Structure 1
Amino acid sequence: MAYRTTTRIETFPSFRSKNGLKFVGKCYTPEKYNQEGVTLVFFHCSGSHKEVWETIIAHLLGLADKNGKPIVHEAWSFDMPSHGEAAKYNKEVLRSAELSMSVNEWTEGFRAFVKLGVFEGHQLVAIAHSLGATLVLLSLMPGELPPVNYKYIVLVEPSLITQESWKEHMEDRQGALKFLAKATMKRRDTWNSREEAREYFETRLPWNTWDPRILDIYVRHGLTEAEDDGVQTGKVALATPKAQESAAFVNIEPHFVVVEFLKTLDRSLPIHFVLGTDHDVMPDYTHQGVIDVRPPASVQRVPDAAHFVVQQNPDGVAAALTQILNGAVWPRAAL
């Protein structure tokens, strides 16, 4: 489906800087859209960026109901302020920060964006991967800014775990998170060119497990022009600072908070789960424990993919989301 994009950059107050923090979102508008259709809002995982969803978005924008009417009005995807393009605009703040960016700050940025009235009259459907899933649930909780109103939510491989599962498997979970954090900090982050970077990614985990289209997008949007004391060096570097990505793996408290919140969340809000069939970062018991907290609207498994299902099998994720958007997997009572 052909579409046009516009990028919107807003500045919101932050304890980090008197100049505030930049919040970056990209809107995808299809050539043919339905004013009464749903507006999809996407949130990425740690270490990723808003454009990671583009292969999936292109498919979903082309969906139509049985009468040929488009299902989607438009789609938006948002960077965490320390990730992707947003990290470029916030580089001075990130460079001087003593504390790494938290998912709570991403949440407050999105709530402030919603308060601008951009989505006035829209039916929002949140689609969120891993860390992004925590943002969506946090955005439903009471706070200084009003909770966000969603028609329904899709959690894709959420990085959530119950307190009970954590305590039972604490050694395993702590070991996995520490490994990810350390591995991220040891990762190479600068290359002479995008071509050299792509060759590097093609032979190393996790990138060599990704769909080639997603890797192409990562080379375009997951890298940025490298600088030394503010002067471009002619090289490219990871757009997301390693320290910011690494910190996301060890800041686990928000995940516990939202799981507890799930227990009290109004049952009338449908929550769907899209999971990989394989297990690496998130064992099956982590997902099952969360699913058992609150009856889901649906649970789908995407083949040939694990926690990084969006990167590994975008077509499978798109197929699962299609089933949700066209109502094929909803409980009969909800239709």
Structure 2
Amino acid sequence: MNALKITSHIIPASSIRRLYGNNGGQLLIAVNSYDPIEGPGFEKETSCEKTTIIFAAANGFHKEIYEPVINGLNEKRERWNGGTMWALDGSNQGDSAVANQDILPDSYNWSDLSRDILQVIDYFNIKGPIVGVGHSLGGCAILMAEILRPGTFSSLVAIDPVLYPYKSKEFAISSFQLALKRKDTWQNRDAAKESFLKHNFFKSWDPEVLNIHIKYGLRDLPSGEVTLKCPKIQEHYTFTHDSDTLIETFQRLHEIQCPVLFITGKKSTTINPLDLALFKASRCKHGDLIILDTGHLVVMEKPKETGMSITGSDLSRVIFYTFSLQFLLTFENKPIAKEILYFICRQQSKESCEKNSSVCDGIIRNAIYEEGNNEKGKNKQIMESKL
């Protein structure tokens, strides 16, 4: 097994942000670096620069949650010319939350995580090809980081990122209720694990990931008990205090020039997960989509498959285009269906589009009809040119 040297760092958070520490305090960011250790099969010299990967986690979790994925990627590092991997905790998550516990503001802005991702790159002077990987909150943040500073990343992997074309009260309310109802203190780590396993939320987790969460997601209290590193009130603030960044990121996906891989779970509880995932991919100039047999917590449920997806293994892919065309037949939102169709036709060969022309034509006719007579000629011309 290829070994990794893990180093923990505490660095200043970005000085450019929407929210600062209480009373002017300097927020800090906890970062782990994962450096490959020389051993059999390790090539120190290479004709091209090593690829760096930066990971950002979901709300309520921590950088170490990616370690099974990181270990899998390290084992296959020859496939992606792997160099150092990095993972960070947002300012109110994981070890960052512990470091900032006395100055955390009573609010949260998702774009600050994007700026802190860029801060990690700047602080450690990371050069060469950089791949950004983010899950949920982290997925939205990694996309916005590239929007804020175009050209930072050579490619992006957004794992069921939380971003919508409209404000989603349903998501915010359900997530808010989950966060505040969650038990957050236990007698010890064994008691915490026993409690976790009683809830469906954790039953689908990979056992290794759950053990990592028990080890790194909790901290010791002076009383001898353990509690969550991310306070549940901070998890609540993150869910409910910033919907603008989610919407802005969605609306600006077309600005991203580098390839973007979206990974989503077909059983995800985010709103309309499959059609929304297709729509997100369709808005990127170089978008692709993989659907795994998971819920929203893709990284926790299928770490091996997540890593395989990042490195391009076909084993975790679905027959995307066939699925998409069949799915579009029952898709009621015709303007969105049209956008997805554009994406499919950009990716497929001309022959494949012609083969599915009857399906495409039906969707196009419905889309034109729904959008009204004033735009009919214009849309028809555009869609025909796309095909």
How many residue pairs align between the two structures? 304
Equivalent pair of 1:270/1:297 in contact (CA under 8 Å) = yes
Of residues 160, 172, 178, the one that matches 1:177 is 172
Q: 1:151 aligns with which of 149, 154, 168?
A: 154
What per-residue deviation string (whole Å, max 9, x for no partner) do you get for residues 236-288 of structure 1?
Answer: 0011010111222222211111111112333xx11111111223234222212
Q: CA deviation at 1:41?
A: 0.4
Q: Deviations over 1:217-239 (max 9, x none)?
A: 0000110112xxxxx11100011
Instruction: Evaluate the alpha carbon distance shift between residue 106 and residue 264 of structure 1 in structure 2; reply closer, same or farther with a 3 A threshold.
Output: closer
Distance 2:212 2:191 in 1: 15
Q: Which moved more, 1:269-278 or 1:47-56?
A: 269-278
**Within 2, Cα distance between the matches of 1:140 and 1:177?**
25
Change (3 A) 1:324 1:103: farther
2:95 to 85, 88, 106: 85
SS of the aligned residue for 1:153 comes to strand
Is the strand fraction higher in 1 or 2? 1
Could you say what the CA RMSD is over the residues aligned between the two structures, in angstroms?
2.4
Provide the TM-score with structure 1 as the length reference: 0.84
Distance 1:50 1:317, change over 3 A: same
Match of 1:41 in 2: 54
Indicate whether 1:301 and 2:291 are aligned. yes
Question: Which segment is superposed worse, 315-324 or 153-162?
Answer: 315-324
Runs of 4+ in 1 over 6 A off after TM superposition: none
Q: Flag the 1:185–1:64 CA change in 2: closer, same or farther, 3 A.
A: closer
Report the CA distance between 1:147 and its aligned residue. Answer: 5.2
Show structure 2 runs of 5+ residues with no match.
Answer: 319-346, 350-387
Q: Shift of the alpha carbon at 1:322?
A: 2.1
Q: Which residue of 1 aligns with 2:29?
A: 23
1:263 partnered with 2:268: no
Name the structure, 1 or 2, with higher relative contact order (CA <8 Å, separation 6+).
1
Residue of 28, 31, 51 corresponding to 2:64? 51
User: For 1:245, which of 235, 253, 267 is the aligned residue?
Assistant: 235
The aligned amino acid for 1:16 is G
**The residue matched to 2:267 in structure 1 has which SS?**
coil
Answer whether contact 1:123 1:150 (CA < 8 A) is retained: yes
Matches within 5 A, 1:103-114: 103-114=110-121
Q: Distance in 1 between matches of 2:68 and 2:4?
A: 12
SS at match of 2:224: strand
- Which whole-Å CA distance do the structure 2 matches of 1:261 and 1:295 have between them? 11
TM-score w.r.t. the length of structure 2 is 0.73
> Partner of 1:170 in structure 2?
none
Aligned residues of 2:117 and 2:142 also touching (Cα < 8 A): no
SS at 1:234 equivalent: coil
Matched with 2:133 is 127
Percent identity for Structure 1 against Structure 2: 22
Change in Cα spacing, 1:247 to 1:148, as seen in structure 2 (3 Å) is farther
Matched, 1:9 2:10: yes
Sort the Cα spacing of 1:149 and 1:324 in 2 relative to 1 into closer, same or farther, 3 A.
farther
Deviates more, 1:16-25 or 1:33-42: 33-42
Deviations 1:121-164 (A, max 9, x none): 3311001111111111221234xxx556111111111112223x
CA–CA distance in 2 between the matches of 1:65 and 1:110?
25
Which has the larger share of helix? Answer: 2
Of the two, which has the highest radius of gyration?
2
